[in-house]
Amino acid sequence: MHDGDVEVAVEVHSAWGTFDWFLREALERGYRVGFVANSDGHKADPGASYPGNSKFSALGGLTCVLAENLDRESVYQAIKVRHFYATSGCRALLDLSMHLGDGKSAMMGDIVTEWSGDPLLHVRLAGSTPIERVDVFNSLELIHAFRPYADKDLGRRVKVLWNGARVRGQDRVVDWDGTLTVTGSRIASAQAINFWNPDQPLEKLSEIQLAWKSFSTGAAKGLILTLAEGSGGQVEINTAQIKARCALDELGLEPKVWELGGLEKELRIYRLPDKLEKKEVSFTLPIKNLKKGDNPIYIRGMQEDGHLVWSSPVYLAW
């Protein structure tokens, strides 16, 4: 059941995990909704919902409402027209607008039926940590991936992420306990991504091996590995879900992905620059090849620390 006058949003993240499949299902069904994130941590700590040592696997999410004034009526009216965006708990600032020609523009959540020429998307994202990438979607299709760096900037850092859920219900936990072993190089340092349980840290067993206890319910977890040498060698990842091996020299800008079924259950690995510095990025993108019907244009941004940001779509209805 869906009534667009009542149900103006779907939840994409909470302390229970990340639920991109809710977002996609709503778009597949043709719903004109925005995207929100919430705590739902059952701990009476809205805005500061840390999972700790429990069955919750993620930091509680946040929703930013773009209201004209800070009063109940303004916030309510902004929610009704989907003027909001979601984060996985970080306090990122996002401005997304669509320039429509003839001096007209629209903001996230708006439904647009008239424009001249190719609509021009403008995105400005200020993160709480450096921005790694910003993906632009038209409904379920990825139409552009923006990164503030290029192939030539890649260095000695390697990012490993695991995520996904088993099923949509309560019994969705995926066990990712495992180890990572490097041969032909050495581990200079390792940074944990979304390891929220202080009793289960990322452990460096030696100069060539890491170990961890981890589970996912949709939200990505992982690590950033800094190698002592910039080339040569290989990495072997042994988890409860998969044993994977690849040569370090084969890793580049685009992730190497092992898809494992379930709900976005996968392992991915790719290289990063030795240092990311830009916490604020902006770009413009002409929106082409629009299809008949609704074209929900939205972004999903990723910070280096694993936090995510989702804009509500601008609906270009053609």
Which has more confidence, 43 or 82? 82
Is 244 strand, coil or helix?
strand
Token pair of 143 as six digits: 């139409």
Q: Is the pLDDT of residue 263 over 90?
A: no
Residue 60 domain flag: yes
- List Cβ neighbours of 144 (8 Å cut-off, separation of 6 or more): 135, 136, 285
Residue 240 domain flag: yes
Q: What's the CATH number where 127 sits?
A: 2.60.40.10
The total of structural domains in the chain comes to 2
Sorting pLDDT into bands at 50, 70 and 90, what band is 51?
confident
Token pair of 267 as six digits: 């392992």
Q: What are 122-163's pLDDT values in tens digits?
A: 999 999 999 999 999 999 999 999 999 999 999 999 999 999
Give the model's pLDDT for residue 93: 98
Give the model's pLDDT for residue 255: 95
Give the model's pLDDT for residue 43: 79
Q: In degrees to the nearest 10, what's the CA dihedral of 133, 12, 38, 43?
A: -110
Q: Are 261 and 233 in contact (CB under 8 A)?
A: no
Q: Residues 195, 251: one domain? A: yes
Q: What's the CATH number where 263 sits?
A: 2.60.40
Give the model's pLDDT for residue 248: 93
Residue 3 domain flag: no
Beta bridge partners of 282: 124
Give the model's pLDDT for residue 154: 96
Give the model's pLDDT for residue 62: 96
Residue 4 domain flag: no
Q: Residues 245, 156: one domain? A: yes
Q: Is the pLDDT of residue 48 over 90?
A: no
Q: Residues 64, 156: one domain? A: no
Q: Is the pLDDT of residue 30 over 90?
A: yes
- Determine how β-strand 178-183 pairs with β-strand 209-212: antiparallel
Q: Is the pLDDT of residue 169 over 80?
A: no
Give the model's pLDDT for residue 65: 98
Q: Residues 190, 295: one domain? A: no
Q: Residues 265, 296: one domain? A: no
| Whole-number Å distance between alpha carbons of 54 and 199 | 11
- Report the predicted TM-score, pTM, of the whole model to 2 decimal places: 0.95
- List Cβ neighbours of 99 (8 Å cut-off, separation of 6 or more): 105, 119, 120, 121, 122
User: Exposed (0-12), middle (13-18) or buried (19+): which is 35, by Cβ within 10 Å?
Assistant: buried
Q: Pick from 175, 168, 196: which is nearest to 43 by CA?
A: 196
Hey, what long-range contacts does 240-249 have (CB within 8 A, 24 or more apart)?
240/175, 240/176, 240/177, 240/178, 241/162, 241/174, 241/175, 241/176, 241/265, 241/267, 242/267, 244/269, 248/158, 248/182, 248/184, 248/185
Q: Residues 220, 117: one domain? A: no
Is 23 strand, coil or helix?
helix
Q: What are 96-113's pLDDT values in tens digits?
A: 999 999 899 999 999 999
Residue 220 domain flag: yes
Token pair of 159 as six digits: 């990012």
Q: Residues 106, 124: one domain? A: yes
Token pair of 78 as six digits: 């902004």
Give the model's pLDDT for residue 242: 95
Q: Is the pLDDT of residue 304 over 90?
A: yes
Residue 24 domain flag: yes
Residue 234 domain flag: yes
The strand order across the sheet containing 221-227 reads 187-193, 221-227, 154-165, 263-273, 256-259
Q: Residues 30, 125: one domain? A: yes
Q: Residues 169, 137: one domain? A: no
Sorting pLDDT into bands at 50, 70 and 90, what band is 172?
confident
Q: Residues 134, 226: one domain? A: no
Domain of residue 188, residue span: 151-273
Token pair of 299 as six digits: 């972004």
How many CA atoms are closer than 13 Å to the CA of 255, on its beta-carbon side?
Answer: 14
Please name the helix (run of DSSP H) or strand (run of DSSP E) that holds residue 80, with its range, or none: helix 72-80
Give the model's pLDDT for residue 267: 97
Residue 1 domain flag: no
Give the model's pLDDT for residue 256: 96
Q: Residues 135, 281: one domain? A: yes
Which has more confidence, 170 or 26? 26
Which has more confidence, 165 or 30? 30
Q: Residues 60, 135: one domain? A: yes
